[in-house]
């Protein structure tokens, strides 16, 4: 069986040795020594601003919206995981969708201004498959219209753009540390933010505490546990190796698909150091995609329709016409990509696709 992804697991003894630090103190949650150590090591590894580790990758989005005191309308992308939109709705705001750029798959920055109304308070855009949005253009629009900018950077651990971490852009960036991601804590996530927002986000993620017996704001429980942090500390030393291996796999796919005109590949924005987190391909028709999925599944190969469906079709949002996202979401397929995927499997996958398009 070949799944679309496979969790990288460090040697179990290394994980257990790190976890023993928490075991010895008896402190399993509520920002113990391992969570703090992980935050310090991540900021050093990525050269990023303030980080707050959290228990999953969705709560950071919800807390960012809360901490930035957003209301009314938030401009966003329809081509993302459902959490991007559901977080907006969950926090009592209205998502306003803008179509995507068909090459980069990120929000089309040229269409953002037309969607701004007096009720618009922010832009929440996704760096799709780790591919950066046009952050300079979005920053200019936000400044002109006095809007906040949140980036859903769930896929972006290790990505740099114009020489710095992608997490350094916007008012807040969020990341997922889910087991399917390059860097993971089993389940987890984080907020990267400017100093201006750190205290509010920190308070919101810890019940609104202001010291052990006082409360300064509404809060929830989004704290990362020590076992989660231990996994992150065990995985982090392998990140360069993981990214290098995935680069080789992506290069192999690219070479094998080089002459296949019926397959379109993701265009990575220039000046990006990508992390090779996913390998999406876009078919000419949905019929081709469905046929390929059936063929691959019959061979115990399980790619994923990601992202599908386009989010303007969700039952709790207003339907709008977004031709690029609507079309591409029906034709995009992420192929298997993980650290120990071998070349024979890659060749077998590509051969099976070529024979059925």
Topology of domain 2-237 in CATH is 3.40.640
Helix, strand, coil percent content, the chain, rounded in steps of 5: 40, 20, 40
Q: What is the pLDDT of residue 328?
A: 98
Residue-level pLDDT at 299: 98
In this prediction, residue 41 carries a pLDDT of 98
User: What's the confidence (pLDDT) of residue 215?
Assistant: 82
Rounded mean pLDDT for each run of 10 residues along the chain, 357 residues in total: 98 98 94 97 95 98 98 98 98 98 98 98 98 98 98 98 98 98 98 94 92 83 98 98 98 96 96 98 98 98 98 96 98 98 98 96
Residue where the block lists tokens 């920053």: 139
Structure confidence at residue 131 (pLDDT): 98
Task: Please report, to the nearest 10 degrees, the dihedral formed by the alpha carbons of residues 13, 14, 17, 19 taken in order.
Answer: -110
pLDDT at 147: 98
Which pLDDT score, from 0 to 100, does residue 211 have?
Answer: 74
pLDDT at position 69: 97
**Of the options 3.20.20.70, 3.40.50.300, 3.90.1150.10, 3.40.50.20, the CATH number for the domain spanning 239-354:** 3.90.1150.10
Domain spans of the chain, in order of start: 2-237, 239-354
Q: Cβ distance 276 to 243 under 8 Å?
A: yes
pLDDT value for 342: 97
Domains 2-237 and 239-354 share a fold: no
pTM of the model: 0.97
How far apart are alpha carbons 246 and 275 in whole angstroms?
8
């Amino acid at each position: 069986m070949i799944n679309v992804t496979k969790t990288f697991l460090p040697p179990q003894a290394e994980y257990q040795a790190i976890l023993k630090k928490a075991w010895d103190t008896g402190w399993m949650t509520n920002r113990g020594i391992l969570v703090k150590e992980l935050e310090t090591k991540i900021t050093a590894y990525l050269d990023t601003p303030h980080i707050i580790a959290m228990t999953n990758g969705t709560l950071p989005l919800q807390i960012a919206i809360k901490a930035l005191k957003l209301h009314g309308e938030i401009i966003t992308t329809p081509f993302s995981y459902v959490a991007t939109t559901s977080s907006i709705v969950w926090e009592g705001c209205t998502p306003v969708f803008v179509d995507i750029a068909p090459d980069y798959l990120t929000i089309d920055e040229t269409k953002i201004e037309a969607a701004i109304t007096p009720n618009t308070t922010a832009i929440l855009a996704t760096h799709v498959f780790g591919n950066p949005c046009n952050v300079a253009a979005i920053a200019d629009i936000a400044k002109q219209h006095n809007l906040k900018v949140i980036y859903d950077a769930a896929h972006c651990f290790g990505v740099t753009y114009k020489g710095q971490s992608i997490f350094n852009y916007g008012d807040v960036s969020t990341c997922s540390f889910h087991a399917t991601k390059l860097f993971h804590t089993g389940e987890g996530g984080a907020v990267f933010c400017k100093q201006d927002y750190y205290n509010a986000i920190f308070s919101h993620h810890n019940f609104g505490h202001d010291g052990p017996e006082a409360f300064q704001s509404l809060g929830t429980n989004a704290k990362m546990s020590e076992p989660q942090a231990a996994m992150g500390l065990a995985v982090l030393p392998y990140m360069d190796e993981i990214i290098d291996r995935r680069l080789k796999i992506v290069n192999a796919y690219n070479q094998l698909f080089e002459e296949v005109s019926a397959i379109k590949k993701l265009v990575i924005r220039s000046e990006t150091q990508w992390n090779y987190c996913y390998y999406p391909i876009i078919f000419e028709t949905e019929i081709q995609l469905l046929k390929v999925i059936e063929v691959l599944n019959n061979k115990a190969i399980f790619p994923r329709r990601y992202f599908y469906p386009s989010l303007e079709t969700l039952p709790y949002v207003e339907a709008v016409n977004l031709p690029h996202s609507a079309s591409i979401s029906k034709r995009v397929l992420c192929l298997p990509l993980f650290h120990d995927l071998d070349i024979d499997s890659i060749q077998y996958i590509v051969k099976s696709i070529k024979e059925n398009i």
